[in-house]
Amino acid sequence: MTYGVLRCKLYGNTYRIAGVGYMEKNVSGKRPNFFWVDYIRAVTIFGVVLIHVAADVITEWGVIPAGRWWSANLYDSLVRGCVPVFIMLSGALLLPVQESLGDFFRKRFNRVFIPFVTWTVLYLIWKKVFYQHDLGFTRSLHLALGGGVWFHLWFIYLLVGLYLAAPVFRVFMLHATRLQAAYLLGIWFVISSALPFLDKLSRILGWPGISMDLPVPIAQGFIGYFILGAFLMKYAHKEWVRWAGVVWMACLSISFFGTGWLAMRSGEFQTVFYDNLAPNIVFYCASFFILAKFLVTSKEDRIPQPVKDLIIYLSKASLGIYLIHPMVIDVLDKGRLGVVLKPSAGHPTLIIPAITLLVYFVSFVIVRIIQRIPYLKRVV
């Protein structure tokens, strides 16, 4: 390690903390809790709900008044990258830990597989009852295996894939030098972010496509966020906060103005600057991670305990909120309880955050109720 090492005891277990918080776990199998982690979970799951609420407005470029569209664009730009941040958080918390394969997969089975199967079945039932009355077992099985049950469940498939690779990357992050880890992240950024982004953007603008057929399997897709989370957990410094704030604002501006510019130029809504792997989103996520880690930690003692308790409760319910909130949105959007409430009901500046808060709160309450029921609590 290039930084000082501190050995400390947390919750009865000894941890070796290098730099600013990278944990090498002892044989006890437990991990300390960080409030900033709870904060990130609570905030980002709210962002996910907001993105899904705003979707009906942001896709209506040229249909709704421009002012309304720009309001939705601002909200959407503010919370872009929520899913990648979740992945970074998983990498930051899982990759530093050393444990047996049996222990690792047993925990992942309980925390992810059981909720995944349960909610896949529930959404298949929902689809059959409200949308596809002729949906049979064979078609349901195809949808479940192919990830086509409901739009948001793709994230769980992604988590499963990352978890399968996690034991290998644990070894890498344990033994890799800072330069080696940065090298892998650099390759990932070029192959999976920069080049695809330039290719998509150039095609929209009518320029010759910029494509490069150079497959690097180890640096494809969202695996880079998994590694990035562990990298920042291990090497980030509080001195980076000022620059992280500048980068965060710059990336937010790029998402906001870039999306609007492309919509005006092409005559339709374009998602290039919203893409989870776009360069501006990569830096947005990294800077947000750094800001949350150090600023929340520095201000933690000033946060009233009731507020901290609420954030922790929201954090613990984050997976459940993610899984259930599309049902809540669907109920409101289709008026299944006799009242229709959708973003088009008013000006997006007010209606989008209002509906988001309502969906977030209702989803949280439902999850909290489920969490208090024996056996059922395992599904959230």
Give the pLDDT of the chain (380 residues) as one tens digit per residue: 333 333 333 333 333 333 333 444 433 444 456 899 999 999 999 999 999 999 989 999 989 999 999 999 999 999 999 999 999 999 999 999 888 888 888 888 888 889 999 999 999 999 999 999 999 999 999 999 888 899 999 999 999 999 999 999 999 999 999 999 999 999 999 999 999 999 999 988 888 767 777 778 888 899 999 999 999 999 999 999 999 999 999 999 999 999 999 999 999 999 999 999 999 999 999 999 999 999 999 999 999 999 999 999 999 999 999 999 999 999 999 999 888 898 888 899 999 999 999 999 999 999 999 999 988 898 98
Q: Three-class SS of residue 14?
A: strand
Task: Locate the domains of the chain by residue range.
Answer: 1-32, 34-379
Q: Phi/psi at 199 (nearest 5 deg)?
A: -65, -45
What's the confidence (pLDDT) of residue 100?
A: 87
**Contact between residue 323 and residue 119 where contact means Cβ atoms under 8 Å apart:** yes
CB atoms inside a 10 Å sphere around CB 84 = 25
Nearest to 249 by CA among 298, 287, 296: 287
State how beta strands 5-10 and 22-24 pair: unpaired
Q: How many residues does the chain have?
A: 380
3-state class percentages of the chain: helix first, strand second, coil last, to nearest 5: 70, 5, 25
C-alpha 195/C-alpha 122 separation (Å) is: 39
C-alpha 350/C-alpha 338 separation (Å) is 22
User: How many angstroms separate the CA atoms of 127 and 135, rounded?
Assistant: 8
Please, where are the H alpha helices in 267-342? 279-299, 305-316, 318-334
Question: Which segments within the chain are labelled E, that is strand?
Answer: 5-10, 13-18, 22-24
